[in-house]
Structure 1
């Protein structure tokens, strides 16, 4: 194999590949990226056996072929090469080496046989549809903060993507929860997705997917089966196993009878929570909300380090209420709000609180209170 490729193009492809590779693994080939050159394209494939990313890049191919080389090492080399450099990759399979040349720089890297590289089996996908990058970004970005990190509840370690009924009709919905907070985000059902099986997309896959969704107008081809999900752009294909488990019935924890309504400027609210939480050394310190007519007092009392209080003008016309929340959870939920105002719906100091973005019902958040 012998190819010439622009440094910027190579860096983009290799950075996607090396982020999938697990740093600590007992199988040497999994640390490598499979490079295949043919025609006028080079493909870079990396996997951790659960996720596989395939990146296609244009290149001048002098000699077709394939080899595997350390993804992290190749990425570090390309990252440190000067902008605008033309990089030449040439492998000598007999010697088990890959030569990387750019200008006066020359690197000689160990390779492993391409035959040892595990390629993820392509399954039959029951559902295939296309969605705008902007739609998928909203669904996953606004829900991923609530993904659980508890390994014992593995079925909560991802975002549950499925088709559901709502007040607006059928929707494509993403839900994530860790038992303390919940995010439920809806978007119109893309054509062809109506019969999609519900799947739990793992946390790592959600992070990798985010890199494909920068161009708002780009169409992303989505394929879903019972065991795998695939997201593809013209250049990159991301395939992932889904979490083998049953996502709990989240609708039971979304309160429907909360009547006390608070409307507050989302940005001001987030800044105020951040400020009062500063006195606490623990990020999980409870912030107390005291609600009175058109008035909200946020306070933190940390016996070991001090206390803080801040007052905000809000729209609230119900009975006075005192309720406490984990400061980190409040900040994460408030930071999801794109619109100017956040609307909180309370019942009592011991019941889950609902939050929406102004009058928009496509995004719903639930947060459990804390004792204060």
Structure 2
């Protein structure tokens, strides 16, 4: 095969497929990207057998063909070439290395047989819908921080997407939880989702899809079954297996009767949490919130470093209920406040019960945070 391609579109495509190629796999071919040229279009494919991503970019070829080369190596080479470079790829036969040239730079890359590159078949995907990239990005960004990393609880290692009926409206809901915090976001259900099954989109798939959502107004075409999901975003097609498990009945942990309402400036709260938590090097970094009338005191104690405390008054805080003390992991609290735009609303019960947290400007978003003993 022999073709030329501009650096910019190739680098963009490689940045998408490089994250999927499996760098630490015992199967060497999975670390490679498959380059296929039909004479007019260059197609790049990478897979780890759980996810496959395919992207097409314009390119001119004098000889069509296919080759597989290490994805990470090619990405680093192209990334370090100068802007505006035109790159020529040339392989005389399937047994020879692939030669790459750009200006005065030249290299040869070892290849693996194209026939060894695995094909990931999507199968029948009976459920289809279209969603704007901005809406899908909101569902992901507001929930993904709460996904679990524990392999033993594999059914929590992703985002649970399903349809709910509230009142007379259907909503597409995204939920994630690791057992310590929970995030739930609703968006108006697109046409076609009403009959879709509840699915768990794996953590790695969530990460790779999020990288592709650059244009808010662009449409994302989604097709799925009970075992597979496929996203088409412009010239990019990402196919993934779904988590084979049952997501827990999350509604049971969402408190319904927390009557103590604390409203606090997101900016002031986030800054105070960061300063107070800095006293402790512990991974959990516990922080105590003492809430009184229109007043919030944040404090932390470190056996090695000392004590830190900061107070927020009525300029930042609104509260008119019984005094309460409650402890949270600072990192978990920060993860949630990072998602809030202007003002956070805490619905509290007592020091040992789950706390409900909302963004006063985003009624479709809800968070639950479990307290810890401080």
Q: TM-score, normalised by structure 1?
A: 0.98
What does residue 137 of structure 2 align with?
Answer: 137
Name structure 2 gaps, 5 residues minimum: none
Offset, 1:174: 0.6
- What is the rounded CA distance, in whole Å, between the counterparts of 2:282 and 2:350 in structure 1? 25
Post-superposition shift, 1:45? 0.1
1:263 aligned residue: 263
Q: Residue deviations 1:257-315, cap 9 Å, x none?
A: 10000001111111110110000011412111111100000011112211111111200
Question: How far is the alpha carbon of 1:39 from its aligned partner?
Answer: 3.7
Distance change in 2, residues 1:17/1:359 (3 Å): closer
RMSD value, Cα: 1.1
Could you tell me which residue of structure 1 aligns to residue 294 of structure 2?
Answer: 294
Contact 1:277 1:283 in 2 (8 A): no
User: 2:354 aligned with 1:352, yes or no?
Assistant: yes
2:157 matched to 1:157?
A: yes
Tell me the distance in 2 between the aligned counterparts of 1:350 and 1:26: 46
Task: Indicate the SS of the match to 1:92.
Answer: coil
Equivalent-residue separation in structure 2 for 1:148 and 1:234 (angstroms) = 30
The alignment covers a number of residue pairs equal to 371
Aligned pair partner of 2:319 in 316, 319, 327: 316
Task: Provide the residue aligned with 2:367 in structure 1.
Answer: 365
Q: 1:359 offset after TM fit, Å?
A: 5.1
Q: Compute the displacement of 1:30 (Å).
A: 0.7
- Note the 1:27-46 alignment, pairs <5 A: 27-46=27-46
1:247 aligns with 2:261: no
Alignment deviations for residues 48-93 of structure 1 (CA, whole Å, 9 cap, x no partner): 0000010111111221111111111111111111111000111233
1:284 aligns with 2:284: yes
Aligned to 1:123, the other structure's residue is in SS state coil
Deviating 4+ runs (over 2 angstroms) = 92-96, 165-169
- Looking at structure 1, the residues matched to 75 and 328 of structure 2 have their Cα atoms a distance apart, in angstroms, of 43
Partner of 1:66: 66
Matched residue, 1:193: 193
Q: Kindly state the Cα deviation for residue 28 of structure 1 after the two structures are TM-superposed.
A: 1.3
State the match for 2:88 in structure 1: 88
Compute the displacement of 1:144 (Å). Answer: 0.4
- 1:3 is displaced (CA, Å) by 1.1
Partner of 1:112, secondary structure, is: coil
| Cα separation, 2, equivalents of 1:94 and 1:262 | 67
Structure 1 residues 167, 263: CA separation in 2 closer, same or farther (over 3 Å shift)?
A: farther
User: Are residues 1:56 and 2:59 paired?
Assistant: no
Gaps of 5+ in 1: none
